């Protein structure tokens, strides 16, 4: 059914437990309260890295807000919660070699409090750099 819109109606078992009450069967491929499968969400998030949200919404025939929610959830899982930058007025950045060779790291700090804001490790090979 690749690239065809499909509506799934899945009967889920409801189990009655004397200790913990009523529970619904857990489906690995569907996040709780999700309207799309985890596979579709991963595919949408992958395409969001390359093109605009509007274009992704057109390709998958989803609303712009649904694509935005999927992308935001994916970014939060991948990068964590957004950093609180309130009060930060000056930043400093340093790049340094980790080992002899082509492994480097970049650190961004707030100089006044010496708080580390971000650290990125990356490698440089044959004219290409990649974040590790």
pLDDT of residue 82: 77
Whether the CB-CB separation of 129 and 116 falls below 8 Å is answered with no
* Average pLDDT over all residues of the chain: 84
**In terms of domains, do 53 and 103 share one?**
no
Per-residue pLDDT tens for 72-125?
999 888 888 778 888 899 999 999 888 777 788 899 999 998 899 988 887 766
pLDDT reported for residue 130 = 55
CB–CB of 109/90 below 8 Å? no
Write down the pLDDT at residue 39: 87
Query: Is residue 70 in some structural domain?
Result: yes
Residues 31 and 59 in one domain: yes
**Strand ranges across the sheet with 92-97:** 92-97, 103-110, 115-125, 128-131
Q: Which domain holds residue 105?
A: 92-131
């Amino acid at each position: 059914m690749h690239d065809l819109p499909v509506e799934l109606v899945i009967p889920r078992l409801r189990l009655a437990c004397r200790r913990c009450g009523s529970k619904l069967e857990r489906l690995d491929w569907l996040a709780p309260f999700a309207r799309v499968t985890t596979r579709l969400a991963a595919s949408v998030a992958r395409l969001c890295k390359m093109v605009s949200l509007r274009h992704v919404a057109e390709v998958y025939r989803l609303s712009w807000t649904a694509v935005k929610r999927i992308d935001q959830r994916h970014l939060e899982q991948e990068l964590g919660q957004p950093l609180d930058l309130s009060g930060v007025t000056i930043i400093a950045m340093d790049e340094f070699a980790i080992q002899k060779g082509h492994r480097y790291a970049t650190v961004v700090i707030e100089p006044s409090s010496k708080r580390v804001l971000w650290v990125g490790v990356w490698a440089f090979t044959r004219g290409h750099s990649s974040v590790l």
